[in-house]
C-alpha cells in the first residue's frame, strides 16, 4: 500500500478523488481484497498448535505418572488384629508393594468416619517391600463385642483400612 495514497484516501484529498478511470488504484484494490492467509500458513499454524498440545499433554502425563508410580510402590494390608487386655490392640501390617513404607500414623474408632489417632509402637515403623510385615502395638481401651475400624497411614501411598469385631 502506498503511504501517500493512504494519506490522500484518509484525508479525502481531491488529488486522490480525481484519479482518471482505468488508472490502477492499488489502495482501493487492497481494501476490496478478500484474501486471507495462504493455505501453507494455515497448515503450518495447525501443525504448531498440534505440537504445542502434544508437548503440554506429555508433560502433564509424565508428572501424573511419576507421582502415581511412587504411590503405587507402597501397598499396605492389615493382615490380622490381635486383642490383648482391655487397653492394647496389636496390628499386623504387610507391604505387598515394590517400595519400603514408613508408617506415620494409626487411627482406631467405632465408625469409619470417627477415627482417633492412637499412640503406636514402634513409632514410624518401616515395612519392607515385597511382603514385609511389621507388628504395631496400639494403646486403646476397647470393649468386647464391638466393631472397630482401623486405618494405617504411610508417609507415601494409600492408607490401609479394615474393620474387625472385638472378642
Domain boundary among the residues 36, 70, 104 is at 70
pLDDT tens string 36-70: 678 888 899 999 999 999 999 999 888 877 765 55
Percentage, residues of the chain above pLDDT 90: 43
* Stronger pLDDT, 24 or 62, i.e. the higher one: 62
Of 20, 48, 70, which residue sits at a domain end? Answer: 70
Give the side-chain half-sphere CA count within 13 A for 138.
24
Return the C-alpha cell found at 59.
508433560
Contact by Cβ (8 Å): 159, 106: no
Which domain does 41 fall in, by range? Answer: 3-70
pLDDT (tens digit, 9 = 90+) per residue, 138-162? 999 999 999 999 999 998 888 999 9
Pair 37, 15 in one domain: yes
d(CA 156, CA 89): 24
Q: Are residues 81 and 157 in the same domain?
A: yes
> Is a pLDDT exceeding 70 seen at residue 84?
yes
Instruction: Say if residue 60 is in the same domain as residue 115.
Output: no
Q: Name which of 135, 125, 123 is nearest 84 in CA terms.
A: 135
Residues 106 and 83 in one domain: yes
Q: Which three cell numbers stand for residue 51?
A: 505440537
* Contact indicator for 130, 75 with CB cutoff of 8 Å: no
Q: What does pLDDT average to over the chain?
A: 81
Which of 85, 78, 86 lies closest to 135 in space, CA to CA? 78
How many domains would you assign to the chain? 2
Alpha carbon distance 96, 158 (integer Å): 12
User: Does residue 34 register a pLDDT over 70?
Assistant: no
Q: Does the pTM of the predicted model rise above 0.85? A: no
CATH code (residue 112): 2.60.40
Amino acid at each position: 500500500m502506498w503511504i501517500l495514497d493512504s494519506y490522500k484516501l484518509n484525508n479525502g484529498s481531491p488529488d486522490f478523488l480525481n484519479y482518471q478511470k482505468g488508472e490502477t488504484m492499488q489502495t482501493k484494490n487492497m481494501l476490496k481484497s478478500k484474501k486471507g492467509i495462504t493455505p501453507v500458513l494455515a497448515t503450518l499454524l495447525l501443525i504448531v498448535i498440534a505440537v504445542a498440545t502434544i508437548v503440554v499433554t506429555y508433560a502433564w502425563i509424565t508428572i501424573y505418572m511419576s507421582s502415581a508410580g511412587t504411590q503405587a510402590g507402597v501397598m499396605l494390608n492389615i493382615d490380622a488384629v490381635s486383642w490383648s487386655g482391655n487397653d492394647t490392640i496389636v496390628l499386623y501390617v504387610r507391604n505387598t508393594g515394590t517400595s519400603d513404607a514408613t508408617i506415620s500414623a494409626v487411627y482406631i474408632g467405632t465408625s469409619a468416619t470417627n477415627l482417633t489417632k492412637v499412640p503406636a509402637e514402634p513409632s514410624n515403623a518401616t515395612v519392607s517391600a515385597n511382603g514385609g510385615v511389621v507388628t504395631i502395638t496400639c494403646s486403646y481401651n476397647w470393649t468386647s463385642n464391638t466393631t472397630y475400624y482401623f486405618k494405617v497411614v504411610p508417609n507415601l501411598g494409600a492408607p490401609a483400612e479394615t474393620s474387625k469385631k472385638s472378642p
